[in-house]
Amino acid sequence: MTDEPPLRRRAAASRTGNDTHHPPSARPEPSDAGTEPTGSESVPLTAPREGTPEPIALPEHLAEVVARFAAGTGPVALDAERASGYRYSQRAYLVQLRRAGAGTALIDPLPLPDLSTLDAAIADAEWVLHAANQDLPCLAEVGLRPRRLFDTELAARLAGFERVGLAALTEHLLGFSLEKHHSAADWSSRPLPQSWLTYAALDVELLVDLRDALDAELTRQDKSAWAAEEFAALVRTGARPPRVRAEPWRRTSGIHRVRGPRAQARVRSLWYARDQIAARRDSAPGRVLPDSAIVAAAELDPKDEKALLTLPGFGGRSVRRLARTWLAALDDARQLPDDALPVTPTVEGPPPPHRWAERDPAAAARLARCREVVLRIAGEHRLPPENLITPDTVRRIAWQPPEEITESTVAEVLRGFNAREWQITLLLPSFAEA
């Protein structure tokens, strides 16, 4: 797939004088896929092979990168760094690329928010990402949308590996260890430290080598067609932003302790007050006011600033400065008429499985049989059950099966839940019988 020599083999040869390691396609064997390698120690990878590039921040420098990558060959490795836990948005604060013949580029999307020229330059190439569903939405925001991709994390899941993190896979298949201690850093800060830039460059350093090793393993296991269907589905849907929940405040951590609709109204009012501030500041909501503070205030309903500031989570200076905002939100909830208080939401889809035996014993039995089928088939093919079929799909079809249960009707229902053809082929006819 690429004319760039595999890094693992080149480095191993330089250390020993000859290549005594197994090629990636020879490891793991069918009986030990997903286990840790034994018999050789991994080598820490501390610097990119051509050195750490400076971030691209000027249009003229971006044009040079575009020309380089258009002239490169083979797949393009991509990654993006966000600032989850620090910022409200999930935008990309650094974009990393690597391609044979083009080297590695780090692009700062703050001064360069439109990378559509780069997108056009690499449109015909296969894009290689790790956990693509995490990065595709923020890459789409800057104009980067793959036409073909290879997801190394998803490939590893299909191949039966137990540990599918980037560092674990590169150590297992390529013999190099990557440090991941900057993964939770605040990538929105500027300037970015040199050690962070090196970390970011190394995230794409091995991706194409890893892609080739995993592709060989999928071929050996006769799973390449499955992976192709999964990757095509990611291309179609992966860039979509997450679905907006109707009542996002209900996901406040610890809300299960808040009893009664009036107290829940206080959670709701504080949650939206915090959300507005977080969006305006582009700050992670938990850095504006922690969930634990919202729950504490909802439970005790403080009426004045003195009572509010004694609660857990309200002691920080930035939180105290907003005391009037929090008290106003609590007062708004206090003034609501009863008919404006939160009500138990209508559950979309089947009820929680633990209630099935009481509400519909036949459905509970169907669910148990379907789960047994999924676990058996997933085990036979060395797949995580959730990659064979989503648990939500199993619950929905067991709760409300087609009126006439045949392989054809069950297959049609599975397609309606976006099951891929390889999944349907594996599940039928056992799933229909269940």
- What is the model's pLDDT at position 39? 41
What is the residue range of 311's domain? 251-340
Bridge partners (DSSP) of residue 105 are: 97
- What is the model's pLDDT at position 22? 35
How many domains does the chain fold into? 3
In Å, what is the CA distance from 8 to each residue of 5, 50, 96?
Answer: 9, 15, 21
Residues 363 and 335 in one domain: no
In Å, what is the CA distance from 12 to each residue of 176, 203, 216, 268, 306?
Answer: 10, 20, 20, 58, 66
- What is the model's pLDDT at position 6? 57
For residue 262, give the H/E element and its range.
helix 261-281
Measure the CA–CA gap between 103 and 49, rounded to whole angstroms: 9
Exposure of 331 in the CB half-sphere (CA atoms within 13 A): 10
Measure the CA–CA gap between 424 and 401, rounded to whole angstroms: 15
Question: Which stretches does DSSP call E strand in 82-235?
Answer: 94-100, 103-107, 127-129, 149-151, 176-177
Let me know if residue 258 belongs to a domain: yes
Task: Give the pair of three-digit tokens for residue 239.
Answer: 């860039």
Backbone angles phi, psi at 340, to 5 degrees: -105, 5
- What is the model's pLDDT at position 7? 55
Residues 149 and 213 in one domain: yes
- 8-state DSSP, 55: P
Q: What is the CATH number of the domain that holds 399?
A: 1.10.150.80
Contacts of 392 (CB under 8 A, 6+ apart): 349, 417
- What is the model's pLDDT at position 183? 75
Let me know if residue 315 belongs to a domain: yes
Residues of the chain short of pLDDT 50, as ranges, are 8-39
Last residue of a domain, one of 310, 340, 370: 340
Q: Among the residues of 95-206, which ranges form H helices?
A: 116-121, 132-141, 152-158, 166-169, 194-205
Residues 160 and 188 in one domain: yes
- State the first-to-last Cα distance of the chain, in angstroms, to the nearest integer: 43
Let me know if residue 319 belongs to a domain: yes
Last residue of a domain, one of 340, 361, 389: 340
In Å, what is the CA distance from 245 to each residue of 242, 250, 251?
Answer: 9, 10, 10
The pLDDT tens digits of the residues spanning 131-151 come to 999 999 999 999 999 999 999
- What is the model's pLDDT at position 345? 82
